[in-house]
């Protein structure tokens, strides 16, 4: 885990909200990707109102990993946000036919890292 300044937490929150909007995620999905339960709606409310992540190194690290996935998808499909969304929600053979979004929601930080690796293998 890393120390994250208040300014960085603000930048991460804004970027995460934009990413979630582009992916058209429900609040429940957003919370699950952030490592919270669907009842923790105050987390998203705080992100929206304060434009800042909670002061948690684990949360900041998770958002950074999700933003890496977002960036890699933008590299793969620079002109096609619809294809980026489709990649997230379509079955993937390396995930046993499960969609990356579903795997990340159920598997937490480990699955987020695995999805990052899948994209890195496609790009590099």
Instruction: State yes or no: pLDDT of 35 exceeds 60.
Output: yes
pLDDT (average), residues 7-35: 96
Cα separation, 51 vs 60, in Å, equals 13
- Give the pLDDT confidence of 76-123 residue by residue, as tens digits: 999 999 999 999 999 999 999 999 999 999 999 999 999 999 999 999
* Predicted local distance difference test score (pLDDT) of residue 1: 45
H, E, C per residue of the chain = CCCCCHHHHHHHHHHHHHHHHHHCCCHHHHHHHHCCCCCCHHHHHHHHHHCCCCCCHHHHHHHHHHHHHHHHHHHHCCCCHHHHHHHHHCCCHHHCCCCHHHHHHHHHHHHHHHHHHHHHHHHC
* Predicted local distance difference test score (pLDDT) of residue 2: 55
At CA 43, angle to CA 37 and CA 45, rounded to 5? 125
Mean pLDDT of the chain: 94
């Amino acid at each position: 885990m890393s120390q994250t300044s208040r300014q960085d937490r603000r930048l991460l929150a804004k970027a995460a909200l934009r990413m979630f909007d582009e992916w058209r995620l429900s609040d429940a999905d957003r919370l699950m990707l952030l490592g919270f339960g669907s009842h923790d709606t105050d987390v998203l409310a705080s992100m929206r109102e304060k434009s800042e992540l909670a002061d948690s190194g684990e949360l900041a690290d998770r958002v950074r990993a999700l933003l890496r996935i977002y960036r890699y998808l933008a590299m793969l499909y620079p002109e096609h946000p619809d294809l980026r969304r489709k990649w997230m929600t379509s079955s993937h053979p390396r995930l046993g036919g499960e969609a990356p979004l579903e795997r990340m929601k159920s598997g937490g930080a480990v699955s987020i890292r695995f999805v990052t690796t899948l994209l890195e293998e496609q790009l590099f």
